Amino acid sequence: MSLLAAVRRVPTALKAAPAAIRRTPAFLKRQLAPRALYLRGLEFAAGPTDGSGAALFRIGFGLLTASVALWTALNAVRWFSNTGVMVARGNGLKHSLYRFAPDAAWMPHLHVALLTLGAVMLLVGLRPRIGAFIVFVAHTSLQHRTSQILNSGDRLFAILALLAVTMPLGHRVSIDAWWRARRGKKAPPASMWGQRLVQIQIAYVYGSAVSSKLFNARWLKGKALHDVLASPVFAEWPAWIDFWPIIYAMTWGSLVFEMGFPVFVWFRKLRPWVLLAGVAFHVGIDLLMIIPMFSWIMIVSYAAFLDDDMARRFLPKLKTKEAPETLRSAVDAQATVVDATDVADVAAPNVAAPNVAAEPSFPSSSDVR
C-alpha cells in the first residue's frame, strides 16, 4: 500500500473509531461477567491434558526419590536409629512409623525399602500415584523422627510427593500406559488440576522467599549475598568477595527473579524464558550454597509448567496401539453438538432454524495455558 493510499484511509478509520470505542464497554462487560469468569477459572484449573507434563515430572521426581533412597541407605543407622547420633523419643514419633517400633533395628531399613519401592514405581510408571504416596509416607515419617537435620528441600520434597498423587502420572511413557494399550483400552480423561496445584506451590515458594527478603535492609541495599557467600554455614566455598558490582548484581538479580517468577510464568510466550532463567538461578544456588537437593527439586518441578506439546519434546517416542484419551476426546465421544442453523439451511433454506444454544467446547491444553 502506498503512502498516499494510507493517508486517504485515515478519515475512514477515524469515523469507525467511535463505534469501536462504544463497543468496548460491552466487550469488557461480557468478559467480566460472573459466568465468563467462572468458565475461565474452570478451564484454567481443570483443562484437559494428555499427561505429557505429568509424565516428565514423574520421571524427574523418580530420579530425585532414588537419590533420597540412596542417601537414606548410607545414613540409616547414623541418623535414623537409636544406636546412632540421634535418639528419638516422645511426641516427635506421633506422626512417624517409628511410633510402632522406635527401637527396632530394622525400622530404618524399612524406610529405605519404601523409598526405593516408590522410586521404582515412579520411574517405570507402575501405579505411580501409589508410589508417590508411599514416598510421601516414608519421607514424612523420617522427617518426624529426626527433624534436627531437615532443610527446606526436605519439606518441599514431601509436599510435592503428596501433590503428585493428584496428577495423571501414568498416562504417558509408563508401564500402565503400555499395559492399557496392549489390552486395547484408552486412558481415562485427565485434567490439569493436579499440575496446577504443583504450579501454585512453586509460585508460592518464590513469593514467600522474596516477601521475607523485602523487609531485610541488607537485601534492599544489595549487600546480602556478601555475607552469605562468606559464611561457612551457607556457602559451599566460603569467600570474602569485595568486588561489589558482582554482589549487587547477584543480590538484586535474585530479588528480581523471585518477584518476577510468580507473575510472568503464567504467560505462555514468556514461560520458556522464565523457566530457563530459573534453571540458571538454581544451578547457581546449588554450586555456591549448601542447601541439599532444594535446587534440583525446584528444577524438576518446572516440568509441571510445560504444556503437553512442549513436554512431548522431552519424552521418548514410544509406539502404542492407542493414544491416551484426553478430556476433550472423552467429551466429544459422549456428546456431539450439532449446529441447528446449519442443519436448517441444508434441509429447508426458507425455514427458520430453531434457537438451539451450542454447548461450550472444551479448550485444548495449549489454549488453557
Residue 74: its pLDDT value, please?
94
User: What is the C-alpha separation between 364 and 369, in angstroms, rounded?
Assistant: 9
Residue 136: its pLDDT value, please?
97
Task: Check pLDDT > 60 for residue 318.
Answer: no
Q: How many CA atoms lie within 13 A of 204 on its CB side?
A: 9
Residue 31: its pLDDT value, please?
65
Q: Which tops the pLDDT comparison, 268 or 339?
A: 268
For residues 37-56, average pLDDT: 87
For residues 318-329, average pLDDT: 45
Residue 277: its pLDDT value, please?
96
Kindly give the interhelix angle for 193-213 and 34-46, rounded to the nearest 10 degrees: 100
Using pLDDT thresholds of 50, 70 and 90, give the confidence band for residue 2: low
Share of the chain above pLDDT 90, in %: 48
For residues 302-321, average pLDDT: 80
Q: Which tops the pLDDT comparison, 289 or 318?
A: 289
Q: What residue ranges do the domains of the chain occupy?
A: 46-312
DSSP conformational letter for 302: G
Residue 24: its pLDDT value, please?
62
- Residue 205 and residue 199 in contact, taking contact as beta carbons nearer than 8 Å: no
For residues 211-235, average pLDDT: 89
Task: Check pLDDT > 60 for residue 206.
Answer: yes
pLDDT, tens digit, 9 for 90 and up, residues 83-108 = 888 777 666 688 899 889 888 899 99
User: Poorest-confidence range of 10-14, 78-82, 217-221, 343-347?
Assistant: 343-347
For residues 212-232, average pLDDT: 90
Q: Which three cell numbers stand for residue 46?
A: 481443570
* Highest mean pLDDT pick, 94-98, 237-241, 268-272: 268-272
SS3 (DSSP) at 16: helix
Using pLDDT thresholds of 50, 70 and 90, give the confidence band for residue 180: very high
Task: Check pLDDT > 80 for residue 359.
Answer: no
Q: Which tops the pLDDT comparison, 239 or 332?
A: 239
Q: To the nearest whole number, what is the mean pLDDT of the chain? A: 81
Q: Which three cell numbers stand for residue 22?
A: 462504544
Q: Which tops the pLDDT comparison, 14 or 47?
A: 47
For residues 136-156, average pLDDT: 90
Task: Check pLDDT > 60 for residue 353.
Answer: no
> Which of 173, 161, 164 shows the shortest CA–CA distance to 195?
164
For residues 274-286, average pLDDT: 95
What radius of gyration do the chain's Cα atoms show?
27
- Residue 287 and residue 239 in contact, taking contact as beta carbons nearer than 8 Å: no
